[in-house]
Each structure stands twice: as C-alpha cells, then as structure tokens.
Amino acid sequence: MATETEKKIESRQIQLVSRPTGVPTVDNFEQVTVELPPLADGEFLVKNEWMSVDPYMRGRMKEGKSYVPPFEIGKPLEGGCIGKVVESRHECFSAGDYVLGNSGWREYWISNGKSVSKVDPEVAPIQSYLGVLGMTGFTAWVGLKRIANLQSGNTVFVSAASGAVGSVACQIAKAYHCRVIGSAGSEEKILWLREKANVDEVIHYKQTDDLSAALGSLAPDGIDIYFDNVGGEHLEAAIEHMNNFGCCVECGMISTYNATEPPAAPRNLFKVIAKRIRMQGFIVRDHFADHDEFLRDMSSWIRSGQIDWEESVTEGLDHAPEAFIGLFQGSNLGKALVRIG
C-alpha cells in the first residue's frame, strides 16, 4: 500500500493577494491548491486540524520593518496551528503525534522539527494549546506577572476583556485576588465576564458616551494596572485614572490596526510624567525562558477552577478569512479558532 508520501499530496492553502487598506476584506485573500514535495530524511508530514486567527496578523499584512517579517503576496499566511503527524522520516516524531506549529492557513505542511513541539491530547483538548495553554494564555501571564508585576489587591483594568488574551488576563488577576474592571461590546460578552470570569465590574463601551467617566465611577480609588488590548480612547481613560506609579501593559492596540489616519487618543499622554506611570510594550517570544513556570501556574488554575475559557470556532479552511475579519468586528468571544479537519 502506498504511503502518504508516495502519493501526491495536494494541500489547500490561503494566500494574501493584496495588502489591505483599512479593514481587510475577503478579496485580500485567495485559496489555492499546491502539491507538496516528497518527504526527505529528517522530515515529517502534518495534517492540520486547528488553526488560530489573531489580531497581530493584521500588522503582518502591512509592508515595513517590524518585530516579525510581513506576509508575502502570493505566499501562504502563517499562524499557530495544531495538526497530526501522518507520515514521518524523523526520529523524534511519529505518525499519530499531535504537534503545535506556526504553519496555519493550510491543510498539510512538512517540517524538519524546528520550532515544532508535541502536545498531549490526554491533558487537555488539543485546540487549547492554541488558547489558554498556548500563546494566548502565555501572553496574558507575561503581561501581568513579568511586565506589570501583578500584586494581590491591585485594581486592574482590562480592555477587550472578553477576547482571547483579555479573558485570560481578567482571570489571572482574579486568581491574585485583584479587583478587575473589564470592557466589552455586547451583552453576551458582559454576561460571560460576570458569570464565568467573575469580573467585578464591566463597561459596555459601545453604550457609553464617556468611557473615562464610566471608568472613573467604577474605580473611584484609581487603577494600578491597565492591560491594553485596544489603545485609543481606552488607553486615554486608563491614563486619566491611573494611580501614581501604575503600569500600562501594552499588549495590543486593535483600535488602530486598520486606521488609515493616526489616532487622536491618547490626548493626555503628558500625565504619564506627573503620575510616574510606567508604559511597557512586550513581545511574548522574548519570555520563552518562563514558559515552564507559566504552564505550572496555568495548569494549577485550571485544575482549581479559577480559569475558564471560551472558543469561537469557524468551520473549514475556506472560511478562515471571514474568521480573521470577524476579529475586527467583535464577533469572537474568547479564542477565535478555525477547525480545518
């Protein structure tokens, strides 16, 4: 019987055909079918089952130098993925292994094992390694523990609090017995934050004329940490109500990713000086030395019931562009995933 690699392996993949102006559209993407080469010694073939869509990918659709190279036109996009090894000529990976990689947006991929790790489907659902046990959870953990130096009793404000990273950040702060205020844009998300994430207060920012006033009324004694996923008016409000020597953890600024003009806010940035506010951006890959500690913490919180999570699942590789675009329309609750097969 012919093995997978003796057959012709055709793989569908999603490519970028044009760089978006403003909010991406499905016309910026195309699906093509390619034929993969035979496996060489030291390689293995993976069939993807899950892939992640994340806001940071919007930055890679722009030209220009950044901390990660931009996506190339006419080449498959990349992103976190979980797949199953279907054929192997590598001594460390066997058929049937589940692996975590960065070759999302496609059905099959070939690897030599570099930057690929095995995951155990007996520990947790495999897709959780793209979410709460993966880069998403690690990002929230690094932002609060390493950047903000989170302490018990802090008042923490989290924007996009029902999103993939924000929802985990809220619950880590609660695990540290902090008072947590979140912002979200729908009644469904607000209900989840109150009932599942146990957030103390939630701002429905789409129904709030004055975000700063709303935050001030919920944090009369100020905030100590702002976990920023949004930027813009949220950052301005956080600076306004930040206590002296507080910290703005700059994880993301989704409100600016599709902007065609520079945003006006924050207009009160000068208060960073008087309040001695520390603002620090971070890239989670700089902290991989701490990954084992993160896994110990997160596993403990999950076992104790202190961490819950949601997944917004889109079915089929064909619909990956829509799943990605939905991130900027606020359509996801928790981690946005695409089930490929």
Element (H, E) at 182: strand 179-184
The residue to which tokens 């496996």 are assigned: 39
Spatial contact of 48 and 108, defined as CB atoms under 8 Å apart:
yes
Cα separation, 327 vs 308, whole angstroms: 20
Q: Which CATH architecture has domain 135-285?
A: 3-Layer(aba) Sandwich (3.40)
Split at pLDDT 50, 70, 90, the class of 3 is low
Determine the Cα–Cα distance for residues 128 and 30; give it in Å rounded to an integer.
28
pLDDT at 292: 95
- Distance of alpha carbon 37 from alpha carbon 320, whole angstroms: 25
Q: How far apart are the C-alpha atoms of 229 and 80, rounded to whole Å?
A: 19
- Give 205-224 pLDDT, tens digit per residue: 999 999 999 999 999 999 99
Helix (H/G/I), strand (E/B), else coil: 32: strand
Whole-number Cα distances in Å, 16 to 63, 69, 246, 329:
12, 14, 41, 20
Q: What are phi and psi of 205, to 5 degrees?
A: -65, -25
What does each C-alpha distance from 314 to 53, 76, 159, 287, 321 come to in angstroms?
10, 19, 24, 30, 10
Domain with CATH 3.90.180.10 in the chain: 10-127+309-339
Q: Give the pLDDT confidence of 247-305 residue by residue, as tens digits.
A: 999 999 999 999 888 888 899 999 999 999 999 999 999 999 999 999 999 999 999 99
Q: What is the mean pLDDT of the chain?
A: 95
| Cα distance between residue 193 and residue 340, in whole Å | 29
In the chain, ranges of CATH 3.40.50.720 domains: 135-285
Between helix 164-175 and helix 187-195 the angle, nearest 10°, is 30
Q: Widest CA span of the chain, in angstroms?
A: 73
What's the predicted TM-score (pTM) here?
Answer: 0.92
CATH class of 10-127+309-339: alpha beta
Q: What is the pLDDT of residues 154-175, one digit of tens each?
A: 999 999 999 999 999 999 999 9
- Whether 72 has a pLDDT exceeding 50, the answer reads yes
Sequence-distant (6+) residues with CB within 8 A of 163 are: 229, 332, 334
